[in-house]
């Protein structure tokens, strides 16, 4: 099977859906000739033209409002925000309009839109362009939140997201764009709300999200050399969350750790930890459920400090050992 990058996988999914469905179109800042802030939409203007590759002014409020309106009228827009941090300027359209329209109109109105959100740290974009804010969106009923960790999942989840009749927030980590994986050319989809066991283990369950999946897998390889067997679970979608896969894993390993990039305080890991504690897996625990997230600071511009602000492989290894010792 061929290998392509995460960015190519996202683009391929969008192009395939646009070829199949004339109601699918993309809009956002610099997505045409420039190819988007991270080059994901490069070449799409040439294939689909300016009617379906809509280059917009620099106004997240205007872009999101246009997308929500188009979706309500039967189209399927894919909106790119250059950085996930900019979602704050579009919050009213997303939180008060897109998330609630289907409920307020008794199901007669639908808002099938995908909002692409490049996020995360590690690229040197500093405090206002490097945040991980996905937990904010998981708190809003009516929104679906997707966070692929590799190219294969990115394509399959994007194809599913575009077909969904609800607003989908699709988080793409900036450092993953150039990573490669085996991705089929043929049609495939990954259902929302289905986690994947990325690595089987017996001593501890580590639930990791986004870029932390690859770092946890690397940590698990090192820990195996010391006789610690780590099972790694990637939820893939935060809303809906596949609780059953996580619970069954914890019942097997008897220990659980949640690893995520966002600030640890009030991060999504707390939701997963609470879910485990309230489930039948609680009776199987040999140690308290633990979390590992970023420190409570704006993301620094300095590369060394930026790296220190969020979990790295060595931090995951240390945390796993700490939980094992409990």
Q: In terms of C-beta distances under 8 Å and separation of at least 24 residues, what long-range contacts does 20-25 make, across chains too?
A: 21/76, 23/74, 23/75, 23/76, 24/52, 24/75, 24/76, 24/77, 24/78, 24/162, 25/51, 25/52, 25/53, 25/54, 25/70, 25/75, 25/76, 25/77, 25/78
Instruction: Return the HEC string of 224-266.
Output: HCCCCCEEEEECCEEECCCHHHHHHHHHHHCCEEEEEEEECCC
- Catalytic residue positions? 60, 129
Alpha carbon distance 62, 239 (integer Å): 26
Q: Is the pLDDT of residue 207 over 90?
A: yes
> Which distant-in-sequence residues (6+ apart) come within 8 Å of 153 by Cβ?
190, 196, 234, 236
Q: What pLDDT sits at residue 321?
A: 97
pLDDT at residue 37 in the model? 94
Structure-block tokens of residue 124: 């040197």
Residue 1 pLDDT level (bands cut at 50, 70, 90): confident
What does the pLDDT read at residue 326? 78
Residue that has been written with the tokens 């409990």 in this structure: 326
Give per-residue pLDDT as tens, 142-193: 999 999 999 999 999 999 999 999 999 999 999 999 999 999 998 999 999 9
- Tell me the per-residue pLDDT of 298-308, one tens digit each, with 9 for 90 and over: 999 999 999 99
Reported as a single tens digit per residue, the pLDDT across 23-73 is 999 999 999 999 999 999 999 999 999 999 999 999 999 999 999 999 999
What are the backbone angles phi and psi of residue 116, rounded to the nearest 5°?
-80, 130
Rounded mean pLDDT of the chain?
A: 97
Instruction: Give the whole-angstrom CA distance, residue 294 versus residue 106.
Output: 40
Contact between 87 and 34 under an 8 Å Cβ cutoff? The reply is no
pLDDT average, residue stretch 255-280 = 97
Helix (H, G, I), strand (E, B) or coil at 180: strand
Tens of pLDDT, residue by residue over 110-149, are 999 999 999 999 999 999 999 999 999 999 999 999 999 9
Taking residues 226-242, what's their average pLDDT? Answer: 98
């Amino acid at each position: 099977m061929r290998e392509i990058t995460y960015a190519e996988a996202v683009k391929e999914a969008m192009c395939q859906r646009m070829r199949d469905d004339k109601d699918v179109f993309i809009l956002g800042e610099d997505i045409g000739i420039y190819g988007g802030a991270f080059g994901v939409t490069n070449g799409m203007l040439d294939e689909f033209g300016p009617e379906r590759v809509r280059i917009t002014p620099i106004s997240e409020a205007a872009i999101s409002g246009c997308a929500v309106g188009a979706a309500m009228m039967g189209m399927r827009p894919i909106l790119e925000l250059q950085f996930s941090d900019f979602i704050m300027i579009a919050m009213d359209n997303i939180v008060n309009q897109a998330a609630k329209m289907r409920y307020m109109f008794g199901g007669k109105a639908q808002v099938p839109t995908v909002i692409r959100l490049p996020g995360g740290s590690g690229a040197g974009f500093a405090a206002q362009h490097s945040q991980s804010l996905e937990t904010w969106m998981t708190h809003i009923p009516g929104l679906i939140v997707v966070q692929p960790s590799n190219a294969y999942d990115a394509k399959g989840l994007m194809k599913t997201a575009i077909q969904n009749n609800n607003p989908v927030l699709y988080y793409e980590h900036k450092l993953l764009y150039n990573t490669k994986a085996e991705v089929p050319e043929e049609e495939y989809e990954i259902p929302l709300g289905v986690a994947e066991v990325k690595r089987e283990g017996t001593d501890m369950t580590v639930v990791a999200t986004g870029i932390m999946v690859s770092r946890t897998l690397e940590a698990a390889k090192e820990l195996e050399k010391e006789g610690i067997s780590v099972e790694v679970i990637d939820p893939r979608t935060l809303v809906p969350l596949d609780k059953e896969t996580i619970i069954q894993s914890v019942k097997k390993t008897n220990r659980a750790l949640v690893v995520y990039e966002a600030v640890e305080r009030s991060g999504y890991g707390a939701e997963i930890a609470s879910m485990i504690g309230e489930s039948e897996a609680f009776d199987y625990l040999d140690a308290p459920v633990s979390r590992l997230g970023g420190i409570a600071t704006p993301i620094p511009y300095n590369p060394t400090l930026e790296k220190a602000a969020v979990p790295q492989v060595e931090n995951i290894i240390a945390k796993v050992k700490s939980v094992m010792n409990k």
